[in-house]
Structure 1
Amino acid sequence: MELRQIRYFIEVAEREHISEAAVHLHVAQSAVSRQIANLEEELGVELFERVGRNVKLTPIGKIFLTHSVSALQAIDYAKKQIDEYLDPKKGTIKIGFPTSLASHLLPTVISAFKKEYPDVAFHLRQGSYNYLIDSVKNRELNLAFLGPLPPKDSAINTAILFTENISALVPSNHHFAKREKLQLIDLRNEAFVLFPEGYILNKMVVEACNSVGFEPIVSSEGEDMDAIKGLVAAGIGLSLLPESTFYDSTPRFTVKIPITSPEIRRTVGIITPVNRELSPSEKVFQQFVIRFFSILGQYQ
């Protein structure tokens, strides 16, 4: 069985058309047909059935496709690691991140890293908190930023980069707008703008409010940081947001006020798999990020 046969098989299976697969592979249609026939002969089964001018996978062909895709991904990953061992400064790094870290942390870190390693490429994937954890565990990602960090377990390593406060964001015409600080219990009768249930920042706010004896009154929900801030600016309600989301600026028509009792904080860090080696480029990036925030912390 040859690697070429596997690649041809996957291409035909995805396009369900031999001639279209041949065009995409830049080879003659007869070459594709011959390699598929050789593969079927070697395996002793029919992988495709002919339906007019098209082809469809047989039941055993569908099973073989699943394993072929996994095998090809493993081979491509191995080749990528070899290339990076030869020159880790020219690899590709795939990173997962949540919406709460998209506006400041991610561009700041990548911009600083690219100054030292300009030839490294990035593939960025935004996702929910649980999706990112599952992606690291299930081999889709090797690195993901998260806040707060989940507990370390048998499948993931965690590294804290910094810890930050959660502050209140209120409309500029709100009766709390001139306050220098707030106690969380002060907000018990206020309308809240939160992320939907299932989002980690929703869970953090609800648990914090519950800890001082009330359930937040949710007037509206937004699925990204800009939506939350926009709803607060429009006077729909107030919100509790991490300090890092205010680094660039506090939105117009809003005021940020610290919560002092109780102080609400979250950890922000990076997670990696326990049972897999990072690629050389990923290791370089991970070490850079940890060093970057260590140095930054000395001046804060």
Structure 2
Amino acid sequence: MNWDAHLRLRHVRTFLEIARAESVSIAADRINITQPAVSRSLKELEEMLGTQLFDRVGRGLRLNEAGRVFQAHASASMVELMRGRDRLAKDGDLTTRLSIGVLPTAATNLLPRAALTFREEMPHVRLHILTGPNWLLFNQLRDGILDLVVGRMPEKDAATGVTFQQLYIEDVVLVCRPGHSILSKRTPEDHIAEHTLILPPGGAVISQTVERYLASIGLPEMRGAFETVALPVGRKIVGNSDALWFISRGVVADELAARSLVAVELASPLLSGPVGISIARSAPINVERSVFAECLQRGV
């Protein structure tokens, strides 16, 4: 079958919907056409490409290696087409909204930089930025209330139905006020239990990371006198006491640079983890979301 003469936008759109849903019937419902029409479009596309794009797994379909290669190019092409459509259609009014959930580690520097870049590229889009506990943001992402979430990679339970794209690796730091006695210790890990701790609450993404670290140094039952990942609260308590605070480095980056807070030297890979973009597997193609993801990548 001749590619130039027969390829249509419906072939690409149908393929992308099947890839997301891993099901012909679900894809048909999403794009509001019949299942036979979906199957026919896929068959025609595979004939044009000269290769199968999916393997059958039970009653579903799963992308094979050729399908994954084609998906990368097809997704990029659709995004560019939609971006061109939007640039021609918009007259400068704020007529579109992109809803973003941001976890504390990305809220201080990464997301504000990306938001300003995005505003220059897509001035017609209003950014709706929400903060909140990990469980709430990822539930809203799966429910379609949020278009993407920016922050630490979710733990296994929260990651159901979500894809994650890593931007960078970030560590959790133990911070204190300048001049704190623990800064002079050769092995500060041995003195953590002597001080009041501020720990992330149970719903925070870094909670289990900190718990694993404390267990690794012999403090599996250690509990914090305070629980927060909120910068104004933690900064004030630490700055006015001998309390120690486990928090993502990105949350306190400005304070560490200004030396109003100091990071205690802890050598442990257990405190490092990926930060990136989370998107619901069922989310349809969205040009605004794709452009914002590009802005985040450029801001790293």
Shared fold by TM > 0.5? yes
Partner of 2:146: 141
| Number of the residue aligned with 2:127 | 122
1:273 corresponds in structure 2 to 280
One-letter amino acid of the structure 2 residue matched with residue 114 of structure 1: R
**Aligned partner of residue 235 in structure 1, secondary structure:** coil
Equivalent residue for 1:286? 293
Separation (CA, whole Å) in 1 of partners of 2:135 and 2:192: 28
The residue that corresponds to 1:87 in the other structure is: 86
How far residue 85 of structure 1 moved from its aligned partner, in angstroms, is 6.8
TM-score by structure 1 length? 0.61
Q: 1:233 aligned to 236, 239, 244, which one? A: 239
d(CA) in 1 for partners of 2:116, 2:267: 33
CA positional deviation for 1:222: 3.4
Residue 190 of structure 1 is matched in structure 2 by 195
Task: Return the alpha-carbon distance in structure 2 between the equivalents of residues 88 and 122 of structure 1.
Answer: 17
Greater Rg over alpha carbons, structure:
1
Residue type at the aligned position of 1:134: N
1:258 to 236, 259, 265: 265
**CA contact 1:184–1:259 (8 Å) conserved in 2:** yes
The residue matched to 1:207 in structure 2 has which SS?
helix
Quick check: 1:143–1:272 contact (8 Å CA) kept in 2?
A: yes
- Which residue of 169, 189, 192 corresponds with 1:163? 169
Indicate conservation of the 8 Å contact 1:192/1:238, yes or no. Answer: yes
Change (3 A) 1:98 1:125: same
Q: Percent sequence identity over matched residues?
A: 19
Matched to 2:236, the amino acid is: G
Shift of 1:171: 2.2
Q: CA deviation at 1:263?
A: 5.1
Which deviations, in whole Å up to 9, do the C-alpha atoms of 1:254-298 show, x marking residues without a partner? 3222311455112111111112213221122223323x15xx4xx
Q: Identify the match of residue 208 of structure 1 among 206, 210, 213.
A: 213
Q: Matched residue of 2:165: which SS?
A: strand
Pairwise CA distance, 1:83: 9.1
**Shift in CA distance, 83/165, structure 1 to aligned 2, threshold 3 Å:** closer
1:228-265: per-residue Cα shift (whole Å, max 9, x none)?
12111111510122221233233765322231145511
Q: Is residue 106 from structure 1 mapped to residue 111 from structure 2 by the alignment?
A: yes
Q: Which amino acid aligns with 2:237?
A: L
Q: Aligned to 2:138, what secondary structure does the other structure show?
A: helix
**What secondary structure is seen at the aligned counterpart in 1 of 2:171?**
strand
> Can you give the 5+ residue segments of structure 1 that lack an aligned partner in the other structure?
1-81
Structure 1 residue 88 displacement after superposition: 5.4
Residues 156, 217 of structure 1: CA spacing in aligned structure 2 closer, same or farther, 3 A cutoff?
closer
Could you tell me how far 1:124 is from its partner in structure 2?
Answer: 0.9
Q: Hey, what does 1:218 align to over in structure 2?
A: 224
Unaligned runs of 5+ in 2: 1-80, 91-95
Aligned residues: 211
Closer/same/farther in 2, CA of residues 240 and 283 from structure 1, 3 Å limit:
same
What's the CA shift string for 1:84-138, capped at 9, x where partnerless? 7731595421111123322222112212332333343211111211111111111
Q: TM-score scaled to structure 2, two decimals?
A: 0.61
Q: Which residue of 2 aligns with 1:60?
A: none
Structure 1 position 242 matched with structure 2 position 222: no
Runs of 4+ in 1 over 6 A off after TM superposition: 82-85
Q: How many Å separate the matches in 1 of 2:159 and 2:175? A: 34
